[in-house]
Chains A and B, each alone.
Chain A
Amino acid sequence: MIAARDLRSPRARLLGGAQASVERPVGSTDPIVPFSHAAASMGGRLVIHVEAEDGRRAEAGRSTAALVERVERWAARLTRYSETSDLSVLNADPRLEIPVRPTLAALLRAGRMVTESTEGLADITLLDARLAAEGLAGEDVELTSRAYDWSIAPGRRGSAIVRRSPGLRFDLDGVGKGWIADRALRFLADWPSAVVDADGDLAIRCAPGKTWEVAVDDPRTPETSIAVLRLTAPDGFPGRWGVATSGISIHRWNVDGRVRHHLIDPRTGRPAVTDVVQATVIAGSALRAEALAKAAVIAGSFEGFALLDRARVQGAVILTDRGETLALPQTLALLGN
């Protein structure tokens, strides 16, 4: 069942007839050495990197510091760890039709979109299942997916009306950081090469002909990586990527002596039983990469690779519990030495 393919072929046939080049991009250059601004944010770390010549470093410092403050304001509206956030207010509201402000409305729409693109595996309606997995709530409520028990209608000036079935509550952990990274990158329009790192989920823009080098963390050993990606924009065109990693080996805990993790399978309402320890996806945006990485972990390696293939991602690296580091063939074009 495991059949070696012809390495001499520059293209590998993939499920669904997709074609993937495994040739390296022309014009790879030395990676950018950026100006970086790091801050604690969103329960983790927010780092903003820009390519800035020596004469623009002070300006880069001001731009990135202002962006960190802006991201903090977004995060404060979207977190479920604050009772006063827009999200917590929405979840606590007993009404079935609730107006929401533009930032939350935009993220809810993004959540609906990634549910579609991940074939239902990235689901923002699993808060009760997540709390049950953490031992913070009982299992006497609906734990499986309610992804289609709600809708969102446009309101005034970017706001919206959320209509939902009784008891449905949202958890945006699975999509929030990628969405924030993408949104923050748009505020760095003055910097042709920039990266927003939202606790490991990256929104990347690259000037034509330039290269960003990104390490894929090895969760088994600190300060090591299982692969190095070289993301090079072709001459004449800027590059835009999202790179995100999801997994079950870091964010985990014990409940009643059993190890549980944070990735809930919407089909069961419980932490996913999977052979994927970690999945990294390279896609067109951090939102999409984050959701697809999560979906690949939940689906397991066989179904996960097929899902990523259907989603036509630009690359994917998966670490399995058998110690394999596997990738989609097109990823070879992005690997550094």
Chain B
Amino acid sequence: MEDFETRGTQPSPLVRRAPTAPNAHPPKAKPDARPMRAALGAGGLAAFSAVLAAIILPATPPVIVPAVDPQLQAAPDTSGTPISLQRPIQYVQLLPGQTAPPGAVVVDPSGPRPTSVVVTVPAPAAKAQKPIIIKTTQSGKRVP
């Protein structure tokens, strides 16, 4: 007890402030630790919350949106060869036990990504002879 009282009333030589010289720098002010503590606390809470959610909450079906390959917008092959268009599709992954709604297209996740094979159509040869009588067209009047 005496020791404590002694420490409380008489400054220890270790912490006693040295006499300052007239030209010495003023002591550095300590930064306030409270904002950093608050930030660390909030970060910890967020991390804890995320871990808790991953452990406790059921996994939600992820919506997977494959990126659109800008190459797909490139100029087409004009040689008339078949080309394969890999489509950017959006789909919902079913969880075990879930069933797709009636009529939905179900894609096997282990299979290759769906593609459509198309061909470029060569321009029809200009015919000097009789014109073709039957023609399929868009409906409506042509707007200049």
Contact = CB atoms under 8 A, between A and B. Distances in A.
| A, B from the same assembly | yes
B134 A249 contact: no
Contact of B119 (A31, A243, A251, A331): A331
Interface stretch (A70-78, A135-143, A219-227): A219-227
**Contact size range, A:** 35 or more
A34 B133 CA distance: 9
A200 B137 contact: yes
Contact of A329 (B118, B134, B139): B118
Nearest to B86: A1
B136 A201 contact: yes
A178 B118 CA distance: 26
A228 interface: yes
Contacts of A226: 121, 123-124
Interface in B89-111: 89, 103, 105
A290 B71 CA distance: 31
B107 to A, nearest CB: 10
A305 B74 CA distance: 17
Contacts of A328: 116-119
B139 A250 contact: yes
A309 interface: yes
B69 to A, nearest CB: 4
Contacts of B77: 2, 4
A216 B135 CA distance: 6
Contact of A325 (B72, B83, B120, B143): B120
Contacts of B73: 322
Contacts of A249: 138
Interface stretch (A9-17, A93-101, A104-112, A150-158): A9-17
Interface in A233-258: 243-247, 249-253
Nearest to B71: A1
Interface stretch (A161-169, A207-215, A265-273): A207-215
A89 interface: no
A280 interface: yes
| Among B69, B122, B125, B134: residue with most chain A CB under 10 A | B134
A214 B75 CA distance: 28
Interface in A16-47: 31, 33-34, 36, 44, 47
B52 interface: no
B45 interface: no
Interface residues of B, number: 43
A3 interface: yes
Interface in B30-86: 69, 71-77, 81-86
A251 B77 CA distance: 30
B81 to A, nearest CB: 5
Contact of B136 (A4, A12, A280, A310): A280
B140 interface: yes
Given A5-B117, A215-B132, 17 more contacts: A1-B69, A1-B71, A2-B72, A2-B77, A3-B84, A34-B134, A200-B138, A215-B134, A227-B124, A228-B124, A247-B138, A249-B138, A302-B72, A305-B118, A325-B123, A331-B121, A335-B121
Interface of A: 1-5, 7, 12-15, 31, 33-34, 36, 44, 47, 49, 116, 119, 177, 195, 197, 199-202, 212-217, 219, 222, 225-228, 243-247, 249-253, 262, 278, 280, 301-303, 305-306, 309-310, 317-318, 322, 324-329, 331-332, 335-337
13 contacts: A1-B72, A13-B117, A15-B114, A33-B133, A213-B132, A215-B132, A217-B138, A251-B140, A251-B141, A305-B87, A305-B118, A325-B121, A331-B121
